[in-house]
Structure 1
Amino acid sequence: MKIALKLLWYFAFLWVAMLCIGVFVMYSGFFKYQRAFLTIKQAAINTGWYLPAFYCHIIGSSLILFAGFFQFSKAVYNNRQLHRPLGKLYVFGVLFFAAPGAYVMTLFVNRGNWVFASFFVQNTLWVIFTLLAWLYIKKGRVTDHIYMMRRSYALAFAAVTLRFYIWGLTVFGHGVNFENNYIIIAFLSWVPNLLVAELINHFDNTRISPISHDNSN
């Protein structure tokens, strides 16, 4: 079981690394936007709203994916001097960059109402869980904070699972333009992630006593 979990950890890290490195390689170079799928977003870019939101989202998401991934490592979690700044980076990145950028990008989704609804609900839950996680730790409610952070990162990890499904459908299927495929992967990218987080929370018997406000900062 431990070997399987370790292999899963390395597999997840590989995809996080590929996504984050790919973002900086593909979209670097003085923010030239004639790249990848942005070539089909010219109408949105011309509004003046899309491009700033896009870079806030992808760069913010890349940073918080890395920061959040290591927060669940015991070595990092037990190192308060490292865990706290990474946690602040994660919360700040979600609430002020990644999620606001995602909201603006969602307005320009052109794949139908169901895809729009999926991304909108996912992003809203992401904001709620992240904000609650921050409020809980400020109040010293460590266990509640951990549960909420699992939910929050499950939704952040949707950036990875979405691209994994797109890659899988492109290589082994008919691509994302096949009938209803994008609707399916839009929900599949985050709903199972959240269910896994809920299962982990449900079977986690660890209970940490509330700590004082002074110790939670």
Structure 2
Amino acid sequence: MRLILRIAAVVAILYASWLMVLLSLPYISFDPYVDFLFTKQLVYKIHHWRWSFYIHVFVSTAVLVAGLFQFSRYLLQRFPKVHRAAGYVYAVTVIALSGPSGLVMGYYANGGVWAKVSFMILAVLWIGFTIAAMYAIYRKEWKKHADMMTRSYALTLSAVTLRFYAYMIDVLDISVSPRAAYIWIAWLSWTLNLILAEYLIRRRVFTSWRAERISA
């Protein structure tokens, strides 16, 4: 049963990554009047926001896939160099590109101050957990590294859960104002992920075999 759940999770994340690719394709034209950008006309002219948006959109899939590799038992045991390479790609991308660009986008987010606060906290925690994971591996603190990577990737998946919750509100036709819905989604997209991450950490779902293999 546990194996089935793991396979289902991997398939779901890979499918979500493919959807992220499809969502990012319209922005390759750099047309300011495409999809989400229709709602950002007041800030599109701001250079650092515009650069942050395109960076965030175009590297999102790489972060999702590279992070997923970190939780492959088979990859860690059979191809540890690939595991490490993917880990460095993930960490550098989050710390230098995705995290900072997310922080800028959070500052200019739709939905008012509460949505802005949520996305900015998300970006800071995302960068912080990833730095902590890299520092732990530098100090050979294997368990802490595994725990911090679990938290970091939980926040990475907020890009997926945010869109999932938005889709469910539309499908279920929940009676709520667009502004209120966006604020709720902004917070739930990452807080519920972190709660699940803490549950997995306490159950030592990833920690034991990751720590055992890395320290070998």
Deviation of 1:166 (Å)? 1.1
CA shift, 1:59, in A, is 1.7
Instruction: Output one character per residue of 1:120-160: Cα deviation in whole Å (capped at 9) or x when no partner.
Output: 11111111100000001111111111110000000010000
Q: Which residue of structure 1 aligns with residue 194 of structure 2?
A: 194
| C-alpha separation in 2, matches of 1:139 and 1:211 | 12
Displacement, 1:174? 4.8
Deviation at 1:209, TM superposition (A): 6.5
The residue that corresponds to 1:6 in the other structure is: 7
Residue 176 to residue 136, structure 1, CA distance change in 2 (3 Å): farther
For 1:26 and 1:76, how far apart are their aligned partners in 2?
Answer: 33
Instruction: Output the CA distance in 2 between the equivalents of 1:211 and 1:15.
Output: 28
Q: TM-score, normalised by structure 1?
A: 0.88
Aligned counterpart, 2:46: 47
Segments of 5+ residues of structure 2 without an aligned counterpart are: none
Deviates more, 1:124-133 or 1:104-113: 104-113
Q: Deviation of residue 17 (structure 1)? A: 2.2
What is the 5 A alignment of 1:1-217? 1-2=1-2, 3-19=4-20, 21-29=21-29, 31-78=30-77, 79-174=79-174, 177-178=177-178, 180-204=180-204, 206=208, 208=211
The count of aligned residue pairs is 211
**Matched position secondary structure for 1:32:** coil
Distance 1:47 1:23 in 2: 23
Give the letter for the 1:194 counterpart.
Answer: L
Residue 177 of structure 1: CA displacement? 4.4
State whether residues 56 and 101 of structure 1, in contact with CA within 8 Å, keep that contact through their aligned partners in structure 2: yes
Conservation of the 8 A alpha-carbon contact between 1:119 and 1:186:
yes
RMSD: 2.3
Q: CA deviation at 1:187?
A: 1.0
Contact 1:23 1:62 in 2 (8 A): no
Q: Deviations over 1:68-97 (max 9, x none)?
A: 112211122221220111111101100111
Which residue identity is paired with 1:203? R
Comparing both structures, which one devotes a greater share of its residues to helix?
2
**Counterpart amino acid of residue 51 in structure 2:** P
Q: Deviations over 1:99-126 (max 9, x none)?
A: 1111111121231111111111111111
Q: How far, CA to CA, are the matches of 1:176 and 1:197 in structure 2?
A: 29
Asked if structure 2 preserves the Cα contact closer than 8 Å seen for 1:130 and 1:152, the reply is yes
